[in-house]
Amino acid sequence: MIEIIPAIDLIDGKCVRLFQGDFAQKKIYNENPLDVALEFESYGIKRLHLVDLDGAKNGKVTNLKTLERIANGTNLRIDFGGGIKTDGDINSIFDAGAKFASIGSIAVKDSEKFFEWLERFGSEKILLGADVREKRIAINGWLTDTDLNIIPFLENYVSKGVSQVFCTDISKDGVLQGSSNELYAEILAKLPEIKLIASGGVSKIEDVYELQKIGCSGVIIGKAIYEGRITLKELKNVS
């Protein structure tokens, strides 16, 4: 079974989507993200991927109030990412109601801090976010490329206790041209023990079933829902 995880991306407290992570190409879908979350919940969705794009860009958690409103207003299990850099940041998002912390940039830039959090909160609460451009890790809200290849990067972190990873192929994100099935299959062939959540490019319900076949434990879906390419009714029937 694959878990359906809709995404809400936040800028200025509003539900938006970017095109391939480009802040200049922004589309606002809803002024009130809580309404969006409640609709997801009404269709049986249990989990939400909430991204603080302001936080990712500025290096500081910014949309905490919105997280709080959604956590208090729904029963969704929220994984929250974007701008989590300090102990204060990670404590604040858990205090605000997040069930998981999605950590990307800090895992690369300050691995000691990341592993400290992994030990303190456990692998069930810490998600490693691996954002990829041409199989290399990108950080800082996708604004900075690194020389780190995705497979050795993940092998290193899994060997140290990481069990949950969500991987986004930036080239696929927001373009509705299908997900990076070959990449996910390659990762799972090397690391079959991990819970791999696919993200980016899902454009039709068939993509979801394909990811399920590959062995992904979850799929994050954003633009395809907002643009009506996949209906919440269709997603409700995935099992």
In the set 9, 54, 89, 173, the catalytic residue is 9
Sign of CA pseudo-dihedral 210, 133, 19, 55: positive
Going by the DSSP 8-state scheme, the letter that residue 65 receives in this structure is: H
| Eight-state DSSP code of residue 187 | H
Q: What DSSP letter does each residue of 70-84 carry, written as one string?
A: HHHH---EEEEESS-
Find the catalytic residue in 79, 131, 169, 173: 131
Q: Mention every residue, 6+ apart, whose C-beta is less than 8 A from residue 4.
A: 45, 47, 208, 218, 219, 221, 235, 238
Q: What is the CA radius of gyration of the chain?
A: 16
Q: Are 5 and 197 in contact (CB under 8 A)?
A: yes
131 flagged as catalytic: yes
Catalytic sites, residue numbers: 9, 131
